[in-house]
Chains A and B, each alone.
Chain A
């Protein structure tokens, strides 16, 4: 257990529905990242927060995706109007300001049917 919690662990949803995932970081970690991992691939960067500010977004993050970190602690990732191509593992990682190590949560596996 790395100390980074993600909820839910698994989500099955019908195409067109909205889903929201949550990440709770290690408490002193001010940097938070979302990644997406599809089958047989390495994780790909989606977005980055430093405290509550969203400082970087990947081109992978279409306008159906939105991420928030309202108080600089937990973060949510919402996908609207889900598509089958959104099926993937969504991973959250956090890092402290003085540490080079990023700690990953167990991920949320999304299946869109």
Chain B
């Protein structure tokens, strides 16, 4: 079965880099995603990576995928107070109509 795990909380200072980690169990994952959720709001897609890639960079965001260890990370460079939110990793895999399986979310707190 599928299981996606994340640490619950991360606190960083404004201007520092944040690294949010995620582990998953299903080796047949095809795409892995990072979503951001602000209080009371829906989910905003930040970035995604295909499972045959190791890394993807998009402006301040860098996604690293270690398929052997089933480990995904999101690095946010120059973290700003507006980055404070809950970050979810999610996976899809073949044969499931591309439904998303989410982790429990990591709350990122950015301090001054």
Contact = CB atoms under 8 A, between A and B. Distances in A.
B93 interface: no
Contacts of B35: 104
Interface residues of A, number: 28
B101 A41 contact: no
Interface residues of B, number: 23
B81 interface: no
B112 interface: no
Nearest to A101: B45
A8 B34 CA distance: 26
Contacts of A74: none
Given A48-B97, A100-B31, A40 B43 contact: no
A24 B4 CA distance: 29
Given A91-B42, A103-B45, A42 B88 contact: yes
Contacts of B99: 33, 45, 48, 56
10 closest Cβ contacts across the A-B interface? Answer: A42-B102, A104-B43, A104-B42, A106-B42, A45-B99, A48-B97, A107-B42, A43-B102, A42-B88, A42-B104
Interface of A: 2, 4, 6, 31, 33, 35, 40-45, 48, 50, 55-56, 91, 93, 95, 100-107, 109
